[in-house]
Chains A and B, each alone.
Chain A
Amino acid sequence: MFRADSLKQLKKGWVFSMNKYLKEFLHRGLMFGGFGPIVLGIVYAVLEGTIENFSLSGFQILVAIVSVYLLAFVQAGASVFNQIESFSVPKSLLCHLSLLYVAYVSCYLINSWIPFDINFLLIFTAIFLCIYFVVWTTVFVSLKIASKKLNARL
Chain B
Amino acid sequence: MKFELIIDTESEEKVVVHAKKEGALTEEIKRLVQAASTELLGYRDNEIVRLNPNDIHCICVMENKIYALCEGSRYSLRQRLYSLEETLPECFVKINQSCLANTKQMERFDTSISGTLKIRFKNGHIDYVSRRQLKAIKERLGI
Contact = CB atoms under 8 A, between A and B. Distances in A.
Contacts of B114: 81-82, 89, 92-93, 96
A140 B113 contact: yes
Contacts of A140: 111, 113, 115
A153 to B, nearest CB: 4
Interface string A91-102: 011001000000
A81 B114 CA distance: 9
Given A16-B63, A154-B106, A143 B111 contact: yes
Interface in B78-123: 103, 106-117
Contacts of A8: none
Contacts, number: 53
Nearest to A87: B114
Interface residues of B, number: 21
A120 interface: no
B117 A147 contact: yes
Contacts of A154: 103, 106-109, 141
A137 B38 CA distance: 43
B116 A150 contact: no
Contacts of A149: 138, 143
Query: Of residues B103, B113, B128, which shows the largest number of chain A Cβ atoms within 10 Å of its Cβ?
Result: B113
A42 B13 CA distance: 62
B41 interface: no
A136 B112 CA distance: 11
B115 A143 contact: yes
Contacts of A119: none
B115 A146 contact: no
Contacts of B113: 89, 93, 140
6 contacts: A89-B112, A140-B115, A144-B111, A147-B111, A150-B141, A154-B141
